Amino acid sequence: MFTFQLRHTDARTQARRGVFVTPRGEVRTPAFMPVGTQGTVKGLTMDMVRATGAEMILGNTYHLALRPGAELVEKLGGLHRFSGWSGPILTDSGGFQLFSLAQMTKITEQRAVFRSHIDGSVFELSPERAIEIQERLGSDVAMVLDHVVALPNEDSVVRDACERTVRWAARCKEAGRRDDQAQFAIVQGGLNSDLRAWCAEQLAKIGFPGYAIGGLSVGETPDEMYRMLDATCPELPATSPRYLMGVGRPEDILQAIRRGVDLFDCVMPTRNGRNALAFTDAGPVRMRNLKHASDDRPLEEHCPCPACQRSRGYLRHLFMADEMLGPILLSAHNLTYYQRLVAGAREAIVQDRFEEYCQTKFQGWSGDATT
């Protein structure tokens, strides 16, 4: 029901072109998944998200369990019908909240106990409960519950969380009941290459349809992240998709693809769009800057998004006038840009010119479009 077809590997790098086949459609990889944490990609209708070229989106177990509740989503037909997205959906397990809400969280071997960021009520999340919630939501891919810690950190803390992640992954697999939902395991291990490799090996022994690399982009440098990818990707099964969680700078995405990663998600395109920053091949463009006031050019000449059907001057006006259309248009542009980025990567991989593609992008981004 869930398969990964590896179509081609670039001749000079580890970049992979593949297809992740799900019951709700195929996802061409490398792929970027827009983040719809609470059942919506902020500011956009699902038709607008589809128009960017996205084939798969992400939702969050913790947030949806708190509001409106997994039982209510199930009652209203599951997350696909509830949100209006008919393609594949991946749901995060809530493990990242162990890190982001650390001040309100107590972790034991059995479970994590949170204080809700909404009303302070107690919320318990065990591996079994994480899977139960995701099965109620009806996502296509359910992430196992993992233990994320801040970086850098003490070796003993990282090792403890890494070993717990493996034990929790086994419990998640045992708890699964739906055959129309694939579980992806998550590799932890902080900035310890040996732990990363060990975790990947242990999870592969348990056996999952896909594997994620988690616990990165939480305070480490880009070079440290790339080093962890170098240590982890070779230890993961070549016949399964590899997902780098929460990493979304365009340059990081290309560096990760170069190392063999297939799937990505990040809030950066929409969050930056809401704050008047547009991603382009010439680097980021800050639309509130005065120099754009009388500029009649589009953000990018060949971009098909609705924002690029208007002038830079008009887009700046929307932000300066606090019109809600500005964040909407720039969010659509940024998501379209990310889809164009991975589509270009897919094409370059099958032509064995991914390294040249990267260098062209890196040179463009090093320009001075932000001033």
- Mean pLDDT of all residues in 344-357: 98
**Beta sheet of 112-115, edge-to-edge order:** 105-107, 112-115, 122-125
Domains of the chain, first to last: 7-272 (3.20.20.105)
For the stretch 114-142, pLDDT in tens is 777 778 788 889 999 999 999 999 999 99
- Mean pLDDT of all residues in 69-77: 98
Active-site residue (options: 146, 252, 265, 281): 265
Distances (CA, A) of 301 to 149, 344, 366: 43, 16, 19
Active-site residue (options: 10, 92, 146, 262): 92
Question: Is 92 among the catalytic positions?
Answer: yes
Rounded-to-integer distance, Cα 75 and Cα 87, Å: 20
**What's the pLDDT at 100?**
65
- 321 DSSP assignment: T
Question: Is 265 among the catalytic positions?
Answer: yes
217: left (phi over 0), alpha (psi -120 to 50) or beta: left
- Mean pLDDT of all residues in 100-107: 70
Indicate the pLDDT class of residue 104, thresholds 50, 70 and 90.
Answer: low
